[in-house]
Structure 1
Amino acid sequence: MFSSWSDHSKGLFLTAVGGLALTIDIPLIKLANGDVWSILLLRSSATLTAALVAWFVWNLIWRNAPPLIPGKAGLAVAACYGVTSLCFMSAVFYTSTANLVFLVAFNTVFATVLSWVFLRERPRNQTLAAMVIMIVAIAIIVAEGFTAGGWFGNLLALGAALSIAGAIVLSRKSGADMGFTPLVAVVLPMSIGGFMVLQNGLVAEAPLWIILDGLIVIPIAFFLLATGPKYLSGPEVAMFYLLETVLAPLWVWMIFSEVPTIYSVVGGSLLVVTLICHSLWQLRENRKPRSAQTLGQPA
C-alpha cells in the first residue's frame, strides 16, 4: 500500500513519524540523570553503533542500502548535523532554556529562506501563513520564561537552528538518500564528549535509558527526518522538528510530574493544530489531478 502513495504523502508520513520519535529524546535523557558530556558520549556511541549495524545488515540482506555519506554533499550534510549537536549542547550552558527553544525553532524560517534563495523553491502562501502561526505559538510557549540570556549562548542557539536548516536544504538540493548521514555525523560530538569524559569521568545514574535512546529512538527519528527532504520542501520538513517543542514537555509532565504552564498548553495546542491542518491541506492538494494544478505552482 505504501508504494501506491504519492511522494509527498510518503514524505509527510516519514517526517511525522520521525518528528514524533524525536519527542521521546528529552525524557530519556532526563531518566539517565547524567552530565551533558556523559550523555553526549553514550547517546552518540549507541547511535553510531546502531547505524553501522543497520547498514551492514541492510547490505547483507538486500544489498541496496544507501551510502553512509553520499559524496561531497553527504559530507556537507554530516558537518551540518555535527555542528548542530555541538551548538545545541553548548548553548545549554550559555543561555536560558526558553531562549534556546525559541531560537532553535527558527530553523523553519532559515529553511524557508535558504530553500527560496538556493533552490528557487518559493513556499506557497499557505506554508508561509502556517510558519507565522507556528512562530507565534512558540513565542506563547516560552513567553513566561523568555529572558535576555547571554549573547554568546543566543548565537550558539541560532547556529544550531541555521545548521539544521542547512542540512535540510543541502539534502533537498542533492536529491540523495541521506538517511544514514546524521547517524554517522555523531562521530564529531562523540569524540568531544569522549575527551571531556576522560577528563572528568562518566556520570550517569541510569545509563541504560540513554543507551536505549541512542540505539533505537535517535536512529529512527533522524533516519526518517533526514529522508524527508527527498520528498518534501525544506520548510515542510523543518516544521516536524517543532513537534519536540510541544510534545516533549507533555511526556516530561507525565513521567516526572512537571506540570506545563498555561502558556505551554495554549501555544502547544496552536502549534499542533496548525501542523495538522497544513499537512491535511498538502495531502488534499497533492491528490488533485495534475492537470488541475497550476503550472509552475511552488511546492
Structure 2
Amino acid sequence: MPALSTDHRKGLLITGIGGLALTIDIPLLKLADGEAWSVLLLRTGVTLLAALVIWAVWRLVTPNAPKLVPGRKGLMVAGLYGLGSIFFVSAVYNTTTANLVFILAFNSMFAALLSWIFLGERPRAGTLLAMAVMVMGILIIVWDSVGAGNLLGDLLAAASALTIASAITISRASGEDMGFAALVGVVLPLGVAAVMVGSVGFHVEQPWWIVLNGAIIMPLSFFCLATGPRYITGPEVAMFYLLETVLAPVWMWLIFLEKPSGNALVGGVILVVALVAHSVWQLMEGRRRRAAAAISQPA
C-alpha cells in the first residue's frame, strides 16, 4: 500500500510539472510571429534534437534509461502525439487561444470514453454526467465560431484533443514509460512541415522563442505528461491539461490583449467547472478505493 501511494504522488507531481510547463507553449508560438508550417518545422526540429541529446546523455549515465520507442504500442503513441502536434499548431493559427484551450480540455472526457470502449472501463454515472455538460460547453464555444472563420480551428483543436486522449489511453494500457515516444513522435509533423515549407517558404520573425519552446518547454511538458499514465489513471493525467485551459488565456490576455469572446467565456466556464468537479470526484473515489483495499488486506 505505501508503494502504491508513493507512485500515485509521484505521478501527480510529474504530470503537474508537465501541465504547468505546457501553459506557456501557445504564447511562445505567438511571440515568434511566424507562418504556421515554418513554426511547426522549427518547433519539432528543435524538440527532436533536444530529445535525442537528453536520451543519449541519460544512456551514458545509466543503462536503465527508458526506451525511445517501447515496441508497437510505442510507435502508435508516437504517431498519435505527432498527429496531435500537427492539429495543435494548425489550430493555433486558425482560432482564438481561448477556444483552443477550452476545447483541448475536452481530452479528459475523450480519455474516459476511449477507456470505456477499448479497455472495458465503463464510466460511472458522474463521468457520463460530466461528459454531457462538457458537450453543452463545447457547442456554445463552437456556435460562436460559425460564420466567424474559426470553425476550422475549433475542429482542429477537437482533433488534437482526441489524438492526445488516444495516446494517453494506449500509454495507460501498456504500462510502459512513453516519455520519449511522445518526443520522438515529432518526426511525423517535422516531415510534413518540411514538405510544406519547401513550397511556401520559411518565415519566422523571432525564431529564438521557438528554440526556447522546442529545446526546453516541449521536452519537459511532453515527457512529464507522457510518463504520467505509468503511475496514475488516464483521466487524472488529462486533468492536468486544465492548467493550460486556465492559464494560457491569461498569458495571452496579458501579453497580446487577446480577450476571449462572450460565448468562449461562458462555454469555457462550463467546461472548467465540469472538469474540476469530475476530477475532484475521481480523486476522492480513488482514495476511497485505496483505503478500502488497505482495510481488506491489512499488513
1:108 equivalent in structure 2: 108
1:82 equivalent in structure 2: 82
1:54 equivalent in structure 2: 54
User: Is 1:121 aligned to 2:128, yes or no?
Assistant: no
Deviation at 1:159, TM superposition (A): 3.8
Judging changes above 3 Å, is the alpha-carbon distance between structure 1 residues 63 and 213 closer, same or farther for their aligned structure 2 residues? Answer: same
Does the 8 Å CA contact 2:44/2:187 hold for their aligned counterparts? yes
Match runs of 1:127-276 below 5 Å: 127-140=127-140, 144-147=144-147, 157-269=157-269, 271-276=271-276
| TM score, norm. by length of structure 2 | 0.81
Q: Deviations over 1:117-169 (max 9, x none)?
A: 21112233334444444444455555544548699877655543332222111
Deviation at 1:42, TM superposition (A): 0.9
Does the 8 Å CA contact 2:145/2:151 hold for their aligned counterparts? no
Deviates more, 1:281-290 or 1:167-176: 281-290
Deviates more, 1:15-24 or 1:272-281: 272-281
Instruction: Read off the aligned partner of 1:53 and give its amino acid letter.
Output: V
Percent identity, aligned pairs only, is: 57
Deviation at 1:15, TM superposition (A): 2.6
Does the 8 Å CA contact 1:12/1:279 hold for their aligned counterparts? no
Q: Deviations over 1:171-194 (max 9, x none)?
A: 111111101111111011112222
2:17 equivalent in structure 1: 17
Q: Deviations over 1:46-81 (max 9, x none)?
A: 111111111122222233111010011101111111
Deviation at 1:278, TM superposition (A): 4.2
Instruction: Read off the aligned partner of 2:244 and give its amino acid letter.
Output: E
Does the 8 Å CA contact 1:99/1:149 hold for their aligned counterparts? no
Give the whole-Å Cα distance in 1 for the aligned partners of 2:118 and 2:26: 33
Judging changes above 3 Å, is the alpha-carbon distance between structure 1 residues 109 and 290 closer, same or farther for their aligned structure 2 residues? Answer: closer
Judging changes above 3 Å, is the alpha-carbon distance between structure 1 residues 277 and 87 closer, same or farther for their aligned structure 2 residues? Answer: closer
Instruction: Name structure 2 gaps, 5 residues minimum.
Output: none
1:31 equivalent in structure 2: 31
Give the whole-Å Cα distance in 1 for the aligned partners of 2:75 and 2:136: 34
Judging changes above 3 Å, is the alpha-carbon distance between structure 1 residues 279 and 13 closer, same or farther for their aligned structure 2 residues? Answer: farther
Question: Secondary structure of 2:179's partner?
Answer: coil
Does the 8 Å CA contact 2:99/2:264 hold for their aligned counterparts? no
Does the 8 Å CA contact 2:48/2:187 hold for their aligned counterparts? yes
Judging changes above 3 Å, is the alpha-carbon distance between structure 1 residues 113 and 289 closer, same or farther for their aligned structure 2 residues? Answer: closer
Instruction: Read off the aligned partner of 2:255 and give its amino acid letter.
Output: I
Deviation at 1:214, TM superposition (A): 0.7
Q: Deviations over 1:76-110 (max 9, x none)?
A: 111111222233445667x7558766665543333
Instruction: Name structure 1 gaps, 5 residues minimum.
Output: none
Judging changes above 3 Å, is the alpha-carbon distance between structure 1 residues 105 and 27 closer, same or farther for their aligned structure 2 residues? Answer: same
Question: Secondary structure of 1:180's partner?
Answer: helix
Instruction: Read off the aligned partner of 2:35 and give its amino acid letter.
Output: D
Deviates more, 1:126-135 or 1:43-52: 126-135
Judging changes above 3 Å, is the alpha-carbon distance between structure 1 residues 243 and 213 closer, same or farther for their aligned structure 2 residues? Answer: same
Does the 8 Å CA contact 1:8/1:286 hold for their aligned counterparts? no
Instruction: Read off the aligned partner of 1:113 and give its amino acid letter.
Output: L
Match runs of 1:272-287 below 5 Å: 272-287=272-287
| TM score, norm. by length of structure 1 | 0.81
Does the 8 Å CA contact 2:102/2:271 hold for their aligned counterparts? no
Question: Secondary structure of 1:67's partner?
Answer: coil
Deviation at 1:211, TM superposition (A): 0.7
Question: Secondary structure of 2:113's partner?
Answer: helix
Does the 8 Å CA contact 2:142/2:151 hold for their aligned counterparts? no
Instruction: Read off the aligned partner of 1:166 and give its amino acid letter.
Output: S
Does the 8 Å CA contact 1:34/1:204 hold for their aligned counterparts? yes
Does the 8 Å CA contact 1:246/1:268 hold for their aligned counterparts? no
Give the whole-Å Cα distance in 2 for the aligned partners of 1:214 and 1:89: 13
Give the whole-Å Cα distance in 1 for the aligned partners of 2:136 and 2:52: 40
Deviates more, 1:126-135 or 1:198-207: 126-135
Q: Deviations over 1:190-237 (max 9, x none)?
A: 122223323333211111001101111111111111112223333333
